Chains A and B, each alone.
Chain A
């Protein structure tokens, strides 16, 4: 069956495809049938779901540059000169404004690990690499994924570069890292 646009978007962003009401209904039917005593514990199916249109606020340009120009931007404190990526509109050391700075997209792995079990959203993607990466020209670390054939070769000190997805919609999942050639 053709996937809907919404479904594709959900998958790209690691969000969960909605569990079918059918599965919940079948579970509850079994629950209603399986009891011995009228006081036996009863487990009732439920879910919580909230929709948002959250603002990126002062970080918005990062996501627009990412989507429109396949570029990573950091932010530099106008006073102390420290460079943040993820960017911040305000320096938390000096309490001064920062200014935008285009980054090369290359960086160094400070620490990394392979993930073999995870939450409902990502369970179908295991195993994958999570790493803390210091992007060149920044003083900060970004947590991100490194995509590579042999994940056991991901190690601290490794040089990586940003790779951008063809379909980008202005989210952190629009890019990932890969080893520098």
Chain B
């Protein structure tokens, strides 16, 4: 494995408010809002940006092929390099990784990474609701010949590994443990003014909410959000000139597993009961950052909790605990705000929101605020080092993992 040629800092970032519907803004206007605030946060001008990376998941949500092209225009970035990244739910993480590469390689000194998504322009006229039509778009992300015609959804391809995991590890995670993740993250969101779903739930209320896809009840699922997020990356020299609070990206790992779970199973029958890409990406990020014991050496994590059970599986696959013990971290309060290692102090996807292409960037902005002591009520005490996991596609095919460190 190679290593980065230069250090890369995050020098600013911002997100819009996450909402089911921003009826007053298009996707490029949402991106503009986040970018304007991120530039102000970094105390730089748009003219200072040398190169842009855009994380936008899905052309059908935006009702536009190559939507990045129009974001670039609207941001007034004409003639600068601009590239769009799309890797499913991990789009935001992959966009940051692309920006990281541009700075680490010496190609650019100041790079904008911006993500946006507008999912609720989709509308099912027959039932008068957005959600079935929004999910209709995701139908085209499944293997069109073999999988899509089964009616499977994003929830299905995450529920299947959870059920396989339960089968292998004595029913872990339990439905009650998953409900506790929902309660925790929605509660964290009450401390985040940008959050889509701040709520004080109870385990009982989660367990009694309508079944969406077994074992996920309504409150086990994140909502699709409209929103945007932006991050400014800088080389060490520039970072030191413009801020006394840089956040260093000290570890980057990425992995793309097989699209078909059959291929994972062929490697190892356990391959459908774990997130192999998260294991590989987290390990690589820890190696780069020199982390030996993530549980002890990481202060907090922003994990991709599109579904409660996936957060618990992520504890295991990101090395916070042994296989089958993820649920215990929730039971013992380790992962709540105030606990030993808070997970998703932002509220995560469940509480803060899931603006797909912007999600990984949103998570990283939140981790950045933590490491700059700017996280307000949701601030993790003594946050020195954070971890971000950005995942996507069938049963977590994609993972991008980052380790972020507080600058001295």
Contact = CB atoms under 8 A, between A and B. Distances in A.
B272 A111 contact: yes
B23 A41 contact: yes
Contact of A118 (B153, B159, B163): B153
A73 B161 CA distance: 26
A14 to B, nearest CB: 5
Nearest to A131: B160
B163 A144 contact: no
Given A46-B63, A130-B160, A118 B262 contact: no
Contact of A86 (B24, B262, B273): B262
A24 interface: yes
B63 A48 contact: yes
Interface string B88-112: 0000000000000000000000000
A143 B212 contact: no
Most A Cβ at <10 Å: residue of B63, B151, B260: B151
B210 interface: yes
Given A43-B23, A145-B150, A119 B260 contact: no
A180 interface: no
Contact of B151 (A43, A92, A128, A139): A128
B404 to A, nearest CB: 34
Given A16-B136, A123-B132, A141-B265, A86 B260 contact: yes
Instruction: Using C-beta atoms within 8 Å of the partner chain, give the interface range for chain B.
Output: 35 or more
Contacts of A82: 266
Contacts of A120: 124, 126, 132-133, 135-136
Interface in B148-202: 149-153, 155-156, 159-161, 163-164, 167
A52 to B, nearest CB: 10
B136 A141 contact: no
A24 B125 contact: yes
A116 B211 contact: yes
A78 interface: no
Interface in A123-139: 123, 125, 127-128, 130-132, 134, 139
Interface string B242-272: 0000000000000000001111011001001
B138 interface: yes
Contacts of B295: none
A: interface residue count bin: 35 or more
A20 B124 CA distance: 11
Interface string A37-63: 000010101101000000010010000
B151 A171 contact: no
A141 B132 contact: no
A101 interface: no
Contacts of A141: 260-262, 265, 272
A122 interface: yes
Contacts of B60: 48
A48 B212 CA distance: 27
Nearest to B156: A130
Nearest to B213: A115
Contacts of A41: 23-24
Nearest to B126: A19
A181 B176 CA distance: 34
B272 to A, nearest CB: 6
A159 to B, nearest CB: 16
Contacts of B150: 130, 143-145, 172
Contacts of A115: 151-153, 155-156, 213-214
A110 interface: yes
Contact of B149 (A14, A117, A123, A157): A14
A143 B163 contact: no
B160 A119 contact: no
- Which 5 residue pairs across A and B have the least CB separation, nearest first? A122-B151, A119-B135, A141-B262, A140-B262, A111-B164
28 contacts: A14-B151, A41-B23, A43-B121, A48-B63, A82-B266, A86-B262, A111-B272, A112-B163, A114-B213, A115-B152, A115-B156, A118-B132, A119-B136, A119-B153, A120-B132, A120-B133, A121-B136, A130-B156, A132-B164, A132-B262, A139-B265, A140-B260, A141-B261, A142-B146, A143-B146, A144-B150, A172-B146, A172-B150
Given A119-B138, A143-B146, 10 more contacts: A20-B125, A41-B23, A43-B23, A112-B163, A113-B163, A115-B151, A115-B152, A117-B213, A120-B132, A131-B160
Interface of B: 23-24, 60, 63, 121, 123-127, 132-133, 135-136, 138-139, 145-147, 149-153, 155-156, 159-161, 163-164, 167, 210-215, 260-263, 265-266, 269, 272-273
